[in-house]
Amino acid sequence: MKKVYLIAAVALLSLSLQAQEEENESDTTRVNLGKTELILVQHDDDIQDTLNIDDQDGEKKRSKKDREAHWAGVDFGFTMLMNPSFENNFPNHPYWKNDAAKSTVWNLNLLEHKFNIAKEYFGITTGLGFSFTSVAFSDNYVLSYNSDTLMAAIDTVTNYSKNKLKATYLTVPLLLEFNTNADSDKSFYLAAGVVGGVRLTSQVKRKGEVDGDKFTFKERGTYGLNPFKLDAAVRLGYSDFGVFANYSLLPLFDTGKTTEAYPLTFGLSLNF
């Protein structure tokens, strides 16, 4: 009886080895036991591990690419003060009709993140940046400010080469962004929403000449400026180049000290 068992075991082992050799290329082993067939499948761990590593690296790269937005970068443009009727005209406060060609805005947008909604084609963009704005006075108007009133009067003695009210803001955007291509470097984009900000510093800066003597004057102060800003914002362009326009939803100054004036800023943008 032991011989019978031994012969049977050897026969089964031979069948198993033969089946394994025949199926080696597919990593599948078949063993026939009478009317019963056993199928053993062996996975190639090395190949699977390699595929997993490649997939993970690709997913990381794709994830980073998908979250590229069109906020981080540098904006340069101009500022124009508008009345509540969206006109650059202030009959009772003519000093707020600023010199738009000399009233500049620099936006340094440092951080960005896009939350994808419809893959990389549509999402919500936010970030962090700084805005450096200036309002240049025309006709030699000199700003005068106290705790109750903000106004300006014409200086008939001094000739000013520079006469500006400057302010720096910390800004945070909340924009809906549309892209035409999965690759942001090959995409037309349109972003619209709001940009909020808080004023960090403000000052008046003047340069001029009196009796042939040149001078520079700087003085820090709040100058009745609103401590916060909220702009309706639009940005559009292609790849790293675009244009922007912001219109303030909040008055630039405390309306208890002067009339309502709303900055309109517009210009060019270069995205990082």
Give yes or no for residue 67 having a pLDDT over 70. no
Q: Are 176 and 192 in contact (CB under 8 A)?
A: yes
Q: What is the mean pLDDT of residues 246-268?
A: 96
Residues 6+ apart with CB under 8 A from 214: 207, 208
**How many residues comprise the chain?**
272
Report the candidate in 123, 78, 75 with the shortest Cα–Cα distance to residue 241.
75
Residue in the structure block whose two tokens are 């549309």: 178
Question: 1-60: per-residue pLDDT in tens?
Answer: 444 444 444 444 444 444 444 444 445 556 554 555 555 555 554 434 443 444 455 444
Give yes or no for residue 147 having a pLDDT over 90. no
pTM of the model: 0.75
Pairing mode, strands 262-271 and 73-82: antiparallel
Query: What are the domain boundaries of the chain?
Result: 2-42, 68-271
Maximum C-alpha span of the chain:
130
